[in-house]
């Protein structure tokens, strides 16, 4: 059990494909240009910034439900980056959030969600009050198949970006061009939070206690929030707190 907890916590954001894909129950297959219009029709473009980019996480969240397939279209987002959020998840990871980064082009995914998907996605993202659901306008996103989006929906961190030295920390596992700040891996970030909040515990004990001890996890989140940098953009519209 301890190994499973460690794998889940340290594996974040999990395997990120190099091309667009579709999740249908537990099956994952490539997405092709000729089917994109039909797949996007009537769907909500929700930007995946962390683990929602990974087929593994989408399967984990939705495979037990009777719902339509989920197209996940790879894209390039201009002037933003995927950085660590100032909180610890219930499964022990240091999660990510979107943050403005002028000049950066980060590779993420758009989850084209049906309205039937939204209650489950909200449950997984809003349940612990770590994020709010929001619309972001006046941006530039270019998908793998050539669609340009100026408006997208996403989950915005309530804690803000974790900025321990006055600057956000990008996820090393997420590809980007012209990064403005030094990226770190999940394990590197866990090591920093470990030293900051629980130096008397061994590393495995630190990770497992983030999962098993809600009070301790909340204490660590409170420490991280002291270094939180709020998301700021002129065209941010909060929809659901």
Give residue-wise pLDDT tens across range 46-66.
999 999 999 999 999 999 999
CATH assignment of 2-240? 3.10.490.10
pTM metric for this prediction: 0.96
In angstroms, rounded to a whole number, what is the distance separating the alpha carbons of residues 152 and 149?
7
Is residue 241 very low, low, confident or very high in pLDDT (cuts 50, 70, 90)? low
Q: Where are the domains of the chain?
A: 2-240
Q: Please report, for residues 77, 148, 196, the alpha-carbon distance to residue 141 in angstroms, rounded to integers and kept in the order given.
A: 5, 6, 36
The whole-angstrom separation of Cα 118 and Cα 134 is 13
Tokens describing residue 141: 């996103």
């Amino acid at each position: 059990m301890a190994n499973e907890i460690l794998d889940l916590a340290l594996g974040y954001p999990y395997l990120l494909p190099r091309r667009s894909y579709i999740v249908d129950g537990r099956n994952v297959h490539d997405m092709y240009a000729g089917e994109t219009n039909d797949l996007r029709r009537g769907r909500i473009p929700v930007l995946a910034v962390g683990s929602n980019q990974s087929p593994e996480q989408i399967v984990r969240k939705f495979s037990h439900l009777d719902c339509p397939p989920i197209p996940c279209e790879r894209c390039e987002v201009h002037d933003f980056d995927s950085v660590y959020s100032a909180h610890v998840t219930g499964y022990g990871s240091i999660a990510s959030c979107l943050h403005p980064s002028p000049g950066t082009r980060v590779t993420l995914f758009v989850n084209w969600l049906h309205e039937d998907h939204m209650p489950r996605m909200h449950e997984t993202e809003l349940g612990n009050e770590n994020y709010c659901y929001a619309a972001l306008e006046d941006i530039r996103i270019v998908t793998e198949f050539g669609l340009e989006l100026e408006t997208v929906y996403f989950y915005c961190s309530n804690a803000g970006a974790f900025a321990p030295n006055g600057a956000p920390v990008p996820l090393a596992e997420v590809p980007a061009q012209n990064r403005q700040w030094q990226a770190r891996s999940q394990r590197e970030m866990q090591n920093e939070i470990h030293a900051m909040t629980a130096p008397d515990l061994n590393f495995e004990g630190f990770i497992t206690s983030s999962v098993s001890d809600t009070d301790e996890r909340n204490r660590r989140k409170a420490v991280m929030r002291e270094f939180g940098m709020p998301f700021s953009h002129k065209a941010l519209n909060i929809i659901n707190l």
